[in-house]
Amino acid sequence: MRAVRANQNSLANDSLPASDSLLCSLEQDFRLWYNFIAENQENTGDWKAMKIYKLGEEVLREKCEEVKPEEINDEFRSVLDQMFITMEEANGVGLAAPQVGIAKRFFVVIADDDERRVFINPTITKTSDDLVDYEEGCLSIPGFYENIKRPSTVSVTALDRNGKRFSIEDAKGLLARVIQHENDHLDGILYIDRGDDEFKRKTEEQFRKRAERAAKKAGEKAKKQAKIAAKKAAKEKRSDA
């Protein structure tokens, strides 16, 4: 979830690239998909920023699989650390595994209390009946915000970064909001699915057009590089003759 532009105080007071087919096969083996993710990161100093997948990429619509106990190891914790770094650099307050191309059930959160929280295989056990309206954004849908109604409080149980079970009872404010937003990601649900249908349609259309422009640009670049390579090869061939 992206840090919202305004209203955070009122929320607290009111208790508020690889192909997707390859990702699907890699998610069966933790070591394989960990190595795959590591190879597709961008260097940022001593850390690596992970690619954040955007609206329209299939991994964001997958229902994620649970993390197996044996997968919670040092490599897994390294992924968690990189997710925190990636999230903070992007001015986010929550980041779910599918947003970085991993179809597994875990997410990281830093809400307004600045505590780093890891939720592995989370289960929401209770939500309040009263709903709170609040403007949400998402790192996978940058630049778009919409008011979304969600329960004001939520209880959740999950595993921490070491695989130890914990519970949070009646979380409220921004923490409750982010937990629900990120937990949705694990079921392939985006915040735009819970809002206005027309807003969702227009947002998806804009991202579709962006993807088409990016694909066209990449194709033109590949053709240009191929022409340069062909000219270079022809020149070398003439020189050898």
- Quote the distance between the C-alpha of residue 229 and its chain's center: 37
DSSP, res 92: B
DSSP, res 234: H
From CA 100, how far away is CA 83, in angstroms rounded?
8
88 catalytic residue (yes or no)? no
Q: Annotated catalytic residue: which of 182, 204, 205, 220?
A: 182
Which secondary structure element, helix H or strand E, spans residue 150, and what is its range? strand 146-151
- Residue in 144, 172, 141 with CA at minimum distance from that of residue 156: 172
DSSP, res 42: E
- Residue type, position 217, single letter: K
- Residue linked to tokens 């650390």: 81
- Residue type, position 19, single letter: S
Around Cβ 67, how many Cβ atoms within 10 Å? Answer: 19
Q: Which residues are catalytic?
A: 182
